[in-house]
């Protein structure tokens, strides 16, 4: 190979750049090595290295400055991340599209500084910025009650103006009156639930929020309050039937068939609520699901949306 071929690329620069950018999107772990290929490749790849950040609070301060923080689009703060670390990230990552707040440390005080940082983040976006590619926070995964209250004014905050996907972690969704502010999230189309909820909550949510595309019940960890009571009642009834032996064998077989379907959470809830937008889904490891969504790969949001569209198409036949 000649010296000239060593120096100059064999393909046009725009195609070469597209190849390298596609590589880091499909295989994020290759980024640091790709930066060593050539100076021009380093120039292309460096900004993409910080697009997705997962921070677990290992070090006292982030190991990159504000100029790199501005490149972050997707941020997960977990592990032992403390309030001051979370605040630093939110204040300086001014171009966030998605945010997951999953710290494992026990919270003993309201995270007021974190809320202030989020407000500053939202208010820093002028009208001109909102009209550009800086669309603001669209995806949020959070244990809501650990960080905010549920009054109407909170949901009307500019923090959530562009929020389309909300993953409510470890939140008790029992009383609709406590959560009716969800209707004030102007852009919300996707909602995920992973803890206890009630039939009235789902009914009000689906009726009053027509813009919702899908409500995802994460079946691995979520449970329906009424379904739990139903199962307890059925257990008592079966015990009484075995004790009295008043029912015939054929009647018992029919009842058992009905109860088998209703014994599942999905079967019970969908027997109470007929709406194709309601989806029950078993998901993979939470961080993997978030990582897939951040990198544009298929995530539980995509699978749930496909299931909702299929259910609605089936019901319309």
So what's the pLDDT on residue 48?
73
pLDDT at 3 exceeding the cut of 50: no
Neighbours of 274 (CB within 10 A): 10
Average pLDDT over the chain reads: 78
pLDDT of residue 128: 39
Percent of the chain beyond pLDDT 90? 25
pLDDT at residue 52, as a whole number: 87
Per-residue model confidence (pLDDT) at position 8: 64
Residue 59: pLDDT band (50, 70, 90) is low
Q: Which of 3-7, 83-87, 122-126, 307-311 has the least mean pLDDT?
A: 3-7
Q: pLDDT tens digits for 175-226?
A: 898 899 999 999 999 999 988 899 999 999 999 999 999 999 998 888 888 8
3-state secondary structure string, the chain? CCHHHHHCCCCCHHHHHHHHHHHHHHCHHHHHHHCCCCHHHHHHHHHHHCCEEEECCCCCCCCCCHHHHCCCCEEEEEECCCHHHHHHHHHHCCCCCEEEEEECCCCCCCCHHHHHHHHHHHHCCCHHHHCCCCCCCCEEEECHHHHCCCCHHHHCCHHHCCCCEEEECCCCECCHHHHHHHHHCCCCCEEEECCEECHHHHHHHHHHCCCCCEEEEECCCCEEHHHHHHHHHHHHHHHHHHHHCCCCHHHHHHHHHHHHHHCCHHHHHHHHCCCCCEEEECCCCHHHHHHHHHCCCCCHHHHHHHHHHHHHHHHCC
Tens-place pLDDT, residues 94-142: 888 999 988 775 454 445 666 677 766 666 554 434 444 456 889 999 8
Report the pLDDT value the prediction gives residue 244, as an integer from 0 to 100.
66
Put residue 94 in one of left, alpha, beta given phi > 0 → left and psi -120 to 50 → alpha.
alpha
Any idea where the domains of the chain sit in the sequence? Answer: 1-49
């Amino acid at each position: 190979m000649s010296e000239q071929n060593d120096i100059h690329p064999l393909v046009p620069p725009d195609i070469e750049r597209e190849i390298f950018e596609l590589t880091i999107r499909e295989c994020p772990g290759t980024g640091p090595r790709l930066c060593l290929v050539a100076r021009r490749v380093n120039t292309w790849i460096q900004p993409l290295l910080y697009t997705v950040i997962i921070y677990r609070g290992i070090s006292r301060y982030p190991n990159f400055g504000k100029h790199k923080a501005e490149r972050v689009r997707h941020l997960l703060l977990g592990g032992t991340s403390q309030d001051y670390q979370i605040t630093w990230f939110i204040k300086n990552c001014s171009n966030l599209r998605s945010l997951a707040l999953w710290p494992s440390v026990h919270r003993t005080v309201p995270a007021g500084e974190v809320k202030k940082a989020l407000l500053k983040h939202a208010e820093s976006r002028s009208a001109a910025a909102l009209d550009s590619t800086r669309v603001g926070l669209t995806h949020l995964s959070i244990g809501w009650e650990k960080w905010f209250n549920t009054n109407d004014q909170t949901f009307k905050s500019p923090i959530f103006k562009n929020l389309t996907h909300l993953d409510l972690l470890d939140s008790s969704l029992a009383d609709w009156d406590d959560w009716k502010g969800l209707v004030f999230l102007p852009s919300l189309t996707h909602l995920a639930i992973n803890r206890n909820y009630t039939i009235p909550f789902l009914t009000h949510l689906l009726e009053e929020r027509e813009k919702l595309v899908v409500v995802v019940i994460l079946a691995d960890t979520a449970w329906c309050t009424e379904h739990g009571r139903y199962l307890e009642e059925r257990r008592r009834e079966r015990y009484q039937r075995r004790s009295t032996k008043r029912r015939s064998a054929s009647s018992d077989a029919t009842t058992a068939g009905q109860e088998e379907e209703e014994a599942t959470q999905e079967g019970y809830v969908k027997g109470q609520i007929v709406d194709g937008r309601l989806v029950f889904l078993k998901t993979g490891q939470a961080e993997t699901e978030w990582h897939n969504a951040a990198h544009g790969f298929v995530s539980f949001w995509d699978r749930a949306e496909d299931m909702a569209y299929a259910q609605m198409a089936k019901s319309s036949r």
